[in-house]
Structure 1
Amino acid sequence: MKFSMIFEAQLADPTVEREHQLFRDSVEQAVLAERMGFDGIWAVEHHSLKWYAHMSAPEIFLTWVAARTSTLRIGHGVVCMPFRFNHPARVAERAATLDLLSGGRLDLGAGRGGTLQETSLCGVDRERTAQEVEEALRIIGAAWQRDELEHHGELLDIDPHPVLPRPAQAPHPPLFLACSREETLARAARLGVGALVMGFAGPESVARMRRTYDAARAERDSAHFVSTEVNDHFSVLCPTIVLDDPERARSVGVRGQRFFAQSIGHWYGGGGVPDEAVVEGADEAAGMRAAEELMVARLHEQDIPVRPSSTATFQADHAYGSAEDAVAYVERLREAGADEIMCLIQMGTVPQEACMETIRQWGEKVIPRFRDDGPRTSVTVRSTPDTTHEGAHP
């Protein structure tokens, strides 16, 4: 079982000063994550999604974190692969550079970045995003298999060119695909890449998605793989806030998730601007239900189908509360088939002190329950370097 964190760079009340502090806080969280025994971090790529995700250049953020750490795996969760966001040859060059400078610690995920807000910024053809993502993965999977890359696909033609530099991990860092629907999971399995399961629907949904992934793995044909290197790693989202006061942790966590749900609903579902007010003592569960009802009403008004995925982000039964609550939730995710627990801690209304305390609680009380090396009782770095994270992702 692996443990990681994912950064959206969410921001309530996004002034310039608060935005700058958000990035400094996120780096501080990532550095502490390594000290507390997390295996890696992931950073999203989104564009122009105010409130929801200010992480538009994850390659810079991840490079800064890599320079501040030594064992932490550094993950693109994900690169927007449509060609007008990022040409696949440029993705390969940047990924190899970060992989070699980090000592082979990079994981590389692909995604569509398919909101109208994002695609309109860069002139991306929304009808081609899935096809472009798959072709980009094939180009990256082949980039260092020979001395020169040559590709003649349905969308791109690349005459022979060397792709420089070469990554530390041969032939390339492990490849992943962002998955929020069962059809995307089946595609990831068929392509031979790992799954980054980004949904909020909980362990029962994760179990169904794992069955979909495994069924596609059992039936796949290696002729469809994007690379000679197959990655079957299954990483799942785990929203969490853990504090000494479990009730406060639940309140802070549910409030943060409501901001997440409202901000993603604004850009993906046509909802209103997220409610940024944090009221001490408020019934956050009731606020979440009211926000969900409002979102459903707006979808009905716009004749947009209300699917389970439309309201999954309003489901608040996650790892909020005490360390024991988090352990129990991880057990459920493990039973559902998770290979990696991808903690979502940094949400728009969650204060920095709550994020840092949650990371400490996971390092001292949660992660050790799933390790063989015993509990971590302080935030000091191990006396001898841990090299188990070097090289390719297991």
Structure 2
Amino acid sequence: MKISLFYEFPLPRPWTETDEHELFQHGLDEVEAADKAGFSTVWLTEHHFLEEYCHSTAPEMFLAAASQRTKDIRLGFGVMHLPPPINHPARIAERVATLDHLSNGRVEFGTGEGSSVAELGGFDIDPADKRTMWEEALEVSIRCMTEAPFSGFKGEHVEMPARNVIPKPLQSPHPPVWVACTRPSSVQMAAQKAIGALSFAYTGPEALKDRVDGYYRTFEEEGAPVTPAINPNILAIGGDLSMMVAKSDDEALKRLGTGGGFFSFGIMHYYLTGMHTPGRTGVWDLYQEAVKEDPTLAYGPGRGAIGSPDTVREFLRGYEASGVDEIILLLNPRSHEGTMESIEIMGREVLPEFIERDSKAVAAKAARLAPVIEKVEARRRPSEAPLFDETYAFGGLPTGQGGKFTAGEIPEAMAEINEGRVKAAQQEKQAMAVKEASG
């Protein structure tokens, strides 16, 4: 089992002018330390308008910065929202591919539909459309990464003419594709499409085993690839997977404070039970009040990788026994200094045994899945992408409806450029004449 980190960049109020700056700088320091410690991947979510709960609104920016301070740790979108009103498929392909080059091929392409009222409503997305938006955008973004040129698409939510989208990813044919799975049915869908399942797991490792077994059973029996490269993997993420490691359980709890349950509380607030006034509602204050009424909301040993190395090691072994390929440990509001030491302790005292067992497990899994993958690949449907029209070309000035020019600044700019060239030529000619006369 691989062990990774997950960032949402929560930032409880009250805020000072430097808090957001420090949040990202601390995150970069932590990811650099995680790379040296041996964590597999750093996963970074994308959310919008979820103040206090998540300030990770442009994950590709942070991951690009992290790519320059790390060497081995993989960089995961966990997830990028695919509905076109949020991210156009061509822009998705461009950003993922660019990050892949900057990181020397370390990108994991996690995808999602979006689900909160804040986000769907903020971008004027009908919740009934988000699954088909995701499906169309996934197809188009992957085709943009792999076709030279992309031959065009016309769907219900995405319409795009032929263009050669550049750059292409470093990983060929594209980075591994994942989808966020909040329900067992979503895990089944991921297996059917032969892509990775970013599976939320709130009920512990015992129940997770059934989900893992179900993923691979569905993959074998029904898997039909929808992307050029398949990704038969399932990982676990959830509110019960916070991390803080220290010399003792008591010290770990002290450094975590009450922040361990903020992820789960934030989900409930923004996705289910809360009413939120932008810029006014204090989510952290509401959480603190809830913790006073029920201290168990703050979590502790047994509800996350929280405690001494022995405690955390035992906790992780339970998830390893479920057969899950990767576990992602959340970084809720906590002490930055404590987190840096926590990462160091994990690298020194916890991760080595899991890394050793994982390398053997990956080899055994590859041998076990080889005949299964042959069956899955045999179910691959022929591409329905249109052939590229070799006679197609574009050019000239942008025009609006009725053929009227809508970009008057372009001919004006060209005229100014030409005028400048004429003047420069005249001045050069005059200078030559003066030089000849004086000579």
TM-score range, shorter chain: 0.7 to 0.9
Q: Distance in 2 between matches of 1:77 and 1:327?
A: 25
- SS of aligned partner of 1:170: coil
Listed as ranges, the matches of 1:58-207 within 5 Å are 58-150=59-151, 151-207=153-209
| 1:239-285 deviation per Cα after TM superposition (whole angstroms, max 9, x unaligned) | 22111121232455472222222222211122374444999xxx979
Q: Distance in 2 between matches of 1:246 and 1:277?
A: 27
- SS of aligned partner of 1:64: helix
Is 1:43 matched with 2:44? Answer: yes
Corresponding residue number in structure 2 for 1:9: 9
Q: Distance in 2 between matches of 1:60 and 1:352?
A: 21
Percentage of pairs with the same residue: 31
Which TM-score applies when normalising by structure 1?
0.81
Q: Distance in 2 between matches of 1:252 and 1:113?
A: 32
Q: Distance in 2 between matches of 1:320 and 1:109?
A: 26
**Distance apart, 1:120 and its partner CA:** 2.0
More helix by share: 2
The total of aligned residue pairs comes to 346
Corresponding residue number in structure 1 for 2:265: 262
One-letter amino acid of the structure 2 residue matched with residue 117 of structure 1 = A
Corresponding residue number in structure 2 for 1:249: 252
Report the aligned-residue RMSD: 2.7
**Distance apart, 1:8 and its partner CA:** 0.3
Residues 20, 198 of structure 1: alpha-carbon distance in 2 compared, 3 angstrom cutoff: farther
| 1:177-201 deviation per Cα after TM superposition (whole angstroms, max 9, x unaligned) | 1112111111111111111123333
Corresponding residue number in structure 2 for 1:353: 337
Listed as ranges, the matches of 1:211-290 within 5 Å are 211-222=213-224, 225-237=225-237, 238-250=241-253, 252-253=255-256, 255-271=258-274, 273-276=282-285, 287-289=294-296
Q: Distance in 1 between matches of 2:349 and 2:3?
A: 13
Q: Distance in 2 between matches of 1:184 and 1:253?
A: 32
Residues 176, 26 of structure 1: alpha-carbon distance in 2 compared, 3 angstrom cutoff: same
Residues 191, 278 of structure 1: alpha-carbon distance in 2 compared, 3 angstrom cutoff: closer
Which deviates more, 74-83 or 258-267?
258-267
Q: Distance in 1 between matches of 2:300 and 2:183?
A: 17
Corresponding residue number in structure 2 for 1:365: 349
| 1:114-163 deviation per Cα after TM superposition (whole angstroms, max 9, x unaligned) | 11111222222221112211222222332243312133444323332211
- Can you give the 5+ residue segments of structure 1 that lack an aligned partner in the other structure? 293-312, 374-394
Q: Distance in 2 between matches of 1:253 and 1:334?
A: 24
- Can you give the 5+ residue segments of structure 2 that lack an aligned partner in the other structure? 276-281, 358-439
One-letter amino acid of the structure 2 residue matched with residue 96 of structure 1 = A
- SS of aligned partner of 1:41: strand
Residues 221, 341 of structure 1: alpha-carbon distance in 2 compared, 3 angstrom cutoff: closer
Instruction: Give the greater-gyration-radius structure (CA).
Output: 2
Corresponding residue number in structure 1 for 2:317: 331
Q: Is the 1:262–1:271 contact (alpha carbons within 8 Å) kept by the matching residues of 2?
A: no
Q: Distance in 1 between matches of 2:338 and 2:190?
A: 35
Higher RCO (C-alpha 8 Å, min separation 6): 1
Q: Distance in 2 between matches of 1:255 and 1:285?
A: 10
Q: Distance in 2 between matches of 1:123 and 1:314?
A: 39
Corresponding residue number in structure 1 for 2:327: 341
Q: Distance in 1 between matches of 2:155 and 2:286?
A: 50
One-letter amino acid of the structure 1 residue matched with residue 61 of structure 2 = I
Q: Distance in 2 between matches of 1:189 and 1:336?
A: 17
- SS of aligned partner of 1:372: helix
Corresponding residue number in structure 2 for 1:299: none
Q: Is the 1:259–1:274 contact (alpha carbons within 8 Å) kept by the matching residues of 2?
A: no
Q: Is the 1:200–1:315 contact (alpha carbons within 8 Å) kept by the matching residues of 2?
A: no
Q: Distance in 1 between matches of 2:218 and 2:116?
A: 27
Moved beyond 4 Å, runs of 4+? 251-254, 275-279, 283-286, 313-316
Listed as ranges, the matches of 1:309-324 within 5 Å are 317-324=303-310
**Distance apart, 1:14 and its partner CA:** 4.7
One-letter amino acid of the structure 1 residue matched with residue 346 of structure 2 = W
